[in-house]
Amino acid sequence: MARIGINPARGKISNYRPAKVTIALLTYIPHLEGYFQNRLDILRLALASVLANTELPFDLMVFDNGSCKEVVDYLMEMQDSGRIDYLLLSDRNIGKIGAFKILFRAVPGEIVAYADDDIFFYPGWIEAQLEILENFPQVGMVSGVPIRDASDRSRKSLLKWIEDGEPGLELDTEYSIPDKWEMDWAESVGRDPAVHMQKIQDQKDLILTFKGVDAFGSASHFQFVTPKDVIVKALPDIWGGNLMGEMMELDQAIDALGYLRLSTVDRYTQHLGNILTPNMVNEAHELGLQFERKIQIRRKRKHWLLHIPGGGKILSRIYNHLFRILNNSD
């Protein structure tokens, strides 16, 4: 059958040019029950904060790793309204590293600003991270908040750079991270803040100053800024298949390639986890963020079943089994 007419795009030229920075988010909310019951609201807050508090030009790319219809519908609405530039939808969870292998190769910018889907962004976050990336040499990862917990991991390249005696580098070892930040971090990842503070009480913070810019001597893989060519090189060649994990291996790969892993000394991003605390909601409102629907704040209260000796372990086994069934991972 003969062709009808000529493609109207023939001979046309797009004036689009990608921004230097691509903000890349990975989402995975398979349903809105149990562990995930507040996660859509958290995603809404995360996107609201990054859109409101990013001043530099950027493209926003979201990779959805097999979320439920409610989440996909919301993301498609965001794209239809022009707030998401690129939306990649997977019909299944291909694992976090698997998603990275697609997402990081697809970003159009030369700088990737990555975040999990439960990260809150404060004003000035991208400028602060880029300042470190552009002034320190051979930087592979810059995060927006210092966290003491993992400060001694994957930093052979950093220690070598320090030992080599870089001219102009100043070092300071002190307690610089406020306890509140560490306690917020512990709570967001499901740890007992008191136990966490006891664990890290003897750890001091390594602060580096170079070309007048301060940096904390470690990074966190839940949010980071990285050159695209670095993060792509650090990805594993094979598909591992794990739905979660392999993040420490990614840290190690960046370190093994000879790149520094650093963070800002101030808190420019915050991990939210799966519960929105009243303090976080109040803080967001004080920054002028508007939400598309009312956020339900759930306060943690220890259920009576958890007071039964061994009850927590039994409930955990039941929950893990039901989680595998709900996510078709058995």
What are the tens digits of pLDDT across the range 63-87?
A: 999 999 999 999 999 999 999 999 9
Confidence of residue 298 (pLDDT cuts 50, 70, 90): very low
Residue 210 has pLDDT above 70, yes or no: yes
Q: What residue type is assigned to position 123 of the chain?
A: P
Predicted confidence (pLDDT) at residue 247 exceeds the cutoff of 50: yes
Specify the higher pLDDT residue, 47 or 34. Answer: 47
Average pLDDT over residues 148-164: 85
Report pLDDT for 188: 86
Q: In the prediction, which pLDDT does 326 show?
A: 59
pTM: 0.84
- Please compute the mean of the pLDDT values over residues 260-284 and round it to a whole number: 91
For a pLDDT cut of 90, what percent of the chain falls above it?
55
Summarize pLDDT for 85-131 with one digit per residue, the tens.
Answer: 999 999 999 999 999 999 999 999 999 999 999 999 999 999 999 99
Work out the percent of the chain whose per-residue pLDDT is above 70: 85
State residue 15's pLDDT score: 79
Instruction: Grade residue 276 by pLDDT with cuts at 50, 70 and 90.
Output: confident
Read off the pLDDT band of 245 (50, 70, 90). low
Residue 204 has pLDDT above 50, yes or no: yes
Of the given ranges (31-45, 93-107, 245-259, 299-313), which has the lowest mean pLDDT?
Answer: 299-313
- What integer best gives the mean pLDDT of the chain? 86
Q: What pLDDT score was predicted for residue 179? A: 86
For the residues 238-245, what does the mean pLDDT come to? 64
pLDDT at 13: 73
Q: Residue 282's pLDDT is what?
A: 86
Higher pLDDT, 154 or 301: 154
* The predicted structure's pLDDT at residue 294: 45
pLDDT score at 297 = 39
Q: Annotate the chain with three-state secondary structure.
A: CCCCCCCCCCCCCCCCCCCCEEEEEEECCCCCCHHHCCHHHHHHHHHHHHHHCCCCCEEEEEEEECCCHHHHHHHHHHHHCCCCCEEEEECCCCCHHHHHHHHHHHCCCCEEEEEECCEEECCCHHHHHHHHHHHCCCEEEEECCCCHHHCCCCCHHHHHHHHCCCCCCEEEEECCCCHHHHHHHHHHCCCCHHHHHHHCCCCCEEEEEECCEEEECCCCCCEEEEEHHHHHHHCCCCCCCCCCCCHHHHHHHHHHCCCEEEECCCCCEEECCCCCCHHHHHHHHHCCCCCCCCCCCCCCCCCHHHHCCCHHHHHHHHHHHHHHHHCCCC
Ordered domains of the chain (ranges, CATH) = 21-286 (3.90.550.10), 305-330 (no CATH)
Instruction: Look at 99-108, 150-159, 267-276, 293-302 and tell me which has the smallest mean pLDDT.
Output: 293-302
User: Can you give the pLDDT at residue 299?
Assistant: 41
